[in-house]
Amino acid sequence: MNGGGWGVASETKSLYTKLQEIDVRYVYLLIWIVVSIPILWPIGLPPGVISEETTRLYQYIDNLPQRSIIVMIDDTGPAAAAECHSGEIAVLYHCMMKGLRVLFYASRTDAVPFIDDAMMKVLGKTSDQPDYGKLYVNLGYIPQGEIGLAGLAANIFFKSVDAYGKDTETMNFFADLPTKTARDWSLVIYYGASNVDWVVRQVTDPYGCPTAGGVAAVLASRIYPYCWDRVIGFLTGLAGSAQYEVLVKRPGEAAAGMDAQSLGHLAIIIMIVLGNIGYFASRRKIPRGG
């Protein structure tokens, strides 16, 4: 006898119980399918509505006068870059079209290559680009996150050489800056999966230069408290990057990923709904007081 002499009730699970206990491997398989297929074969779902935070950032940059200075802080490791880097490329493209000056720096070592990558994809070259030193400067890695930014905000020549070993003090980029501090900047944009509060603390509050962001979606909820007087707009994850690509009419990797994101979100919601249907239906079957 099964159970070594003990009577074991052969319990057949109801459909509702099964709905709550689907093997996670099937969940993994579902996610894999709904994310992979649209990436390999785009299905062209509608692009959706452009969010207020993306529109505000676009309008702010679009209204800046020529040669205004935008500082881009790269805090993206390869993990966060999947969400944020496309947005950085789209914003850089917008800056290039508007003739704005862009000062890049990386606040973590593994973010350095992404600056080069953005410059290559938008400008075609990096330090040998004709406008390098006039409209674009890459300072490379500045250690110590917030302290590094505080130093740069207080003195634009905080780092005396750029990422390629060139002397920054002789560059045309900085020649006409009146204060050589963050007061000369028009906008500082943070890209990464940390928070923007340290940027607000070191640049916006003391110098009045507004902050923006291109951040991982999971971080967005921590930026809203600073909207819209400190943070004038931001890109929320891949969707925000895709929206900016649409606004600058240069669809890229982010826009291509929107089908996968839509179907991925939908699949997760369907799984949650199924689990809850099973939960409520099985609860209803339990007799009162039982």
Partner 1 sequence: MSMVIKRYIPIVILAAIAFFMAGDTLLLEPVLNDLASSGRSAVTIIGSFAVILSVVMLSRLHVRRIQRKTTVVESSVLLTCMWVTIIWGLYRFAVEGVSPAAEATVQSIFYGIVSPGDSTIYSILAFFIAAAAYRAFRARSLEATLLLAAGVLVMLGKAPIGASIWLPLVDIQNWIMLVPNMAGSRVIIMSAIIATIALYIRIIFGYERGWMGRGE
Long-range own/partner contacts, residues 144-152 (CB < 8 A, 24 or more apart): 145/75, 145/107, 145/108, 145/198, 146/198, 146/201, 146/202, 148/105, 148/107, 149/73, 149/107, 149/198, 149/199, 149/202, 149/203, 150/202, 152/71, 152/105, 152/182
Nearer to partner 1, 99 or 274 (CB): 274
3-state secondary structure of 7: coil
Nearer to partner 1, 77 or 98 (CB): 77
For 228, half-sphere exposure in the C-beta direction (CA atoms, 13 angstrom radius) is 10
DSSP state of 161: B
Nearer to partner 1, 15 or 266 (CB): 266
Q: Nearest distance from residue 141's CB to partner 1, in Å?
A: 8
Q: Nearest distance from residue 270's CB to partner 1, in Å?
A: 9
What token pair was written down for 134?
Answer: 């006039």
Contact criterion met (CB below 8 Å) for 260 and 244: no
For 122, half-sphere exposure in the C-beta direction (CA atoms, 13 angstrom radius) is 27
Measured from the Cβ of residue 14, the count of other Cβ atoms closer than 10 Å reads 13
Q: Nearest distance from residue 175's CB to partner 1, in Å?
A: 21
Q: Which amino acid is at 124?
A: G
Nearer to partner 1, 10 or 221 (CB): 221
Q: Nearest distance from residue 66's CB to partner 1, in Å?
A: 28
Nearer to partner 1, 68 or 150 (CB): 150
Nearer to partner 1, 9 or 24 (CB): 24
